[in-house]
Structure 1
Amino acid sequence: MYFFALSTAEQGASMALFEDNILVFESSLFSRQTHSKGLLPMIEQAVESRDGMSVNRIDGFIAARGPGSFTGLRIGISMVKGLARAVSKPCAGVSSLDGIAFRFCYSQKPVCVMMDAKRKEVYSAVYQFHHGKLIQKSPEVVCSPESAIDQAGSNALYVGSGSKVYRDTICSRTHDRAVLSCPSMDGVSACALVVSVMSDNGVFDFENHPLNPVYLRKSDAQIHFEEKTGA
């Protein structure tokens, strides 16, 4: 079976193509242009990388459902839903934070994901893995970086875009005992989205992973509207 995954949760876009549980293509793009301009050529490249492959041979589509960029998420989710509907195949959504955390699923330390949420906040959750398997995950929250650090503690591995924005805060608050990931590993990985919910025999549970956006907080437009109208 073929699975296609896409993340547009942040400024960069990531996509991956799996055959059963084997990764056969992975690509990422960082651009200051809107995702809508670069996604289709990337998808064509991903599909055409396999001889005789076409979109209608893909058995399921997966997308990062958030949290993350409101505009980016809407574009990516709409793209995946459109492709899935066009070929009458199922689609599913996976947490953007899982798409970061599962890059470090063999970490012996707790993994604290901190995705930059702007407004001096981060989207965050803390993961505990054992031999590549998730054994515990805290609720996903939007909070101050200080709150995220206090929840994870000084023995954690800090990953994600927010961990670099607030690097000095992490080092200061943990007295330089925390470990930070390599900056090139901070983004949401389409490959990790699939790995996080795929069984060892390559089965993906689409029914229990609906593709509905998860924002964790209101958009700027909604906040400004409510302030203006007193709603």
Structure 2
Amino acid sequence: MALILCLETATTNCSVGIAKDGELLILKEDNSKNYSHAEKLHVFIKEAMLKAGVTANELDAVAVSKGPGSYTGLRIGVSSAKGLCYSLGIPLISVPTLDLLAYKLKGEKGLIVSMLDARRMEVYSAVYDSDINQLRDTEAQILEPSSFNIYLEKSKVHFIGNGVAKFEDICTHQNAVFHKEQYPSAKEMAAIAEYKYQKSDIEDVAYFEPYYLKDFIAG
């Protein structure tokens, strides 16, 4: 059982959570549609810890969204997490960003496709079953009307994330369900981080880098 600070900065949503034993105690987040994480993240961390009534020295670990996502957002989140882990001497836990989106729909009948906008008609995506077992590797892909037909022909498919709207515009399959304008959040990180902590599934603080998946994209 652990007290974990959770940081999510892979998209425009700057999200901070305090979790204890896998349960979220406090959530502080703001999605202003622009990347102001550099100004907000440390303020949110302080406010979240104050509201939770905990100090940094009480933390057992820091969990951070590892990507894919915004290059700038990921750098800010990971740098902050690593700095805290260094100074406090506690473990660093990384959580795939697309897993956080999928967890919002855990238990839904059918498959789940997490989808983050990667500019133009490109998205970062991954495919999961209803228990959030990943069925296909994370990819950066250019969307076409038939992009997910292999799954849509077999079952209902839930598409979730800020990249969903562009696929809805070109996909007319009756088995497609669209959950638009959903963003990864520290809220879904609590249970995943606790599980990883108990399994000692932690990162090397010195060498850990975000999972960018593709070359630099400003923003």
Q: How does the TM-score come out when normalised to structure 1?
A: 0.83
Aligned residue pairs total 211
AA partner of residue 149 (structure 2):
D
Please give the per-residue CA displacement for 1:64-103, whole angstroms capped at 9, x wherever unaligned: 1110000110011001111111111111211110111111
| More helix as a share of residues | 1
Give the 3-state SS of the residue equivalent to 2:43 in structure 1.
Answer: helix
Could you tell me how far apart the structure 2 residues matched to 1:148 and 1:193 are? 28
Cα offset, 1:166, TM superposition = 2.7
Partner residue in 2 for 1:25: 26
Partner residue in 2 for 1:47: 49
Deviation larger for 203-212 or 97-106:
203-212
Q: Give the 4+ runs in structure 1 shifted more than 6 A.
A: none
> Which one has a bigger Cα radius of gyration?
1
Please give the per-residue CA displacement for 1:173-229, whole angstroms capped at 9, x wherever unaligned: x1x43111253xx101212233235439x83533369743111111258xxxxxxxx
Could you tell me how far apart the structure 2 residues matched to 1:145 and 1:63 are? 28
Give the 3 Å change call, closer, same or farther, for CA 33–191 of structure 1 in structure 2. closer
Partner residue in 1 for 2:201: 206
**Residues 52-201 of structure 1 correspond to what in structure 2 (within 5 A)?**
53-129=54-130, 133-146=131-144, 148-153=147-152, 155-170=156-171, 172=172, 174=173, 176-181=174-179, 183=181, 186-196=182-192, 198-199=194-195
Is the Cα contact below 8 Å between 1:95 and 1:193 reproduced in 2? no
AA partner of residue 6 (structure 1):
L
AA partner of residue 216 (structure 1):
L
Partner residue in 1 for 2:14: 13
Q: Which runs of 5+ in 2 are unaligned?
A: none
Q: How does the TM-score come out when normalised to structure 2?
A: 0.87
AA partner of residue 41 (structure 2):
L
RMSD after superposition? 2.3
AA partner of residue 134 (structure 1):
I
Give the 3 Å change call, closer, same or farther, for CA 50–198 of structure 1 in structure 2. closer
Please give the per-residue CA displacement for 1:141-160, whole angstroms capped at 9, x wherever unaligned: 00012264335426200100
Is the Cα contact below 8 Å between 2:13 and 2:30 reproduced in 1? yes
Partner residue in 2 for 1:36: 38
